[in-house]
Amino acid sequence: MLGLSDDVERAYISGPMTGLPNHNFKAFNVLAAKLREQGYVVYNPAENFGGFVSHERCEFMRIDLTHLLQVDALVLLPGWSMSEGARLELLLAQELDLEIVCAEGTKPLLVVTETRNSAVEEEVCANS
């Protein structure tokens, strides 16, 4: 479906939540359902804490990063590059040598981007 390799069994969904209507849960949940229909075990941040959003950001990030350590692939939702959390998840996924794909089914492109302190290489989806 998304161009994931045959050896991927577990996938983590990453994308923007903060400041979006209903925390963008619909996009996360639709993609999670599609991945599960394909037979993948899915870690969906929209399902953390039963969907309650009243926890501190650090609590969400702790569970998200713990889940990321348990998967074979990271799937990026549109708009992920505007999310600090998703960018952090991408960096960790790169360090863990996870497969990285975009929800649109395209492979990420390697580009150099400027941060506050330096230039870094970053994977980005063509449509983000």
CATH number at residue 110: 3.40.50.10400
User: For residue 4, what pLDDT band results from cuts at 50, 70 and 90?
Assistant: confident
Number of independent structural domains in the chain? 1
Cα separation, 38 vs 16, in Å, equals 23
User: For residue 60, what pLDDT band results from cuts at 50, 70 and 90?
Assistant: confident
- 1 lies in some domain: no
Within 13 Å, how many C-alpha atoms sit on residue 79's CB side?
Answer: 10
Look up residue 80 and give its two tokens.
Answer: 């992920």
- What are the phi and psi torsion angles at 108 (to 5°)? -65, 155
Cα separation, 61 vs 39, in Å, equals 26
Choice between 113 and 19, residue whose per-residue pLDDT is larger: 19
User: For residue 71, what pLDDT band results from cuts at 50, 70 and 90?
Assistant: very high
- 107 lies in some domain: yes
**Predicted local confidence at residue 33, as pLDDT:** 95
- 4 lies in some domain: no
Q: Which residue has the tokens 């799937």?
A: 75
Name the pTM for this structure: 0.80
pLDDT reading at 118 higher than 70: no
Print the domain residue range for 81.
Answer: 10-124
**Mean local confidence (pLDDT), 77-87:** 89
Sign of CA dihedral 24, 9, 3, 111: positive
- 3 lies in some domain: no
Amino acid 96 reads L
User: For residue 17, what pLDDT band results from cuts at 50, 70 and 90?
Assistant: confident
Q: Which residues pair with 11 in a beta bridge?
A: 42, 73
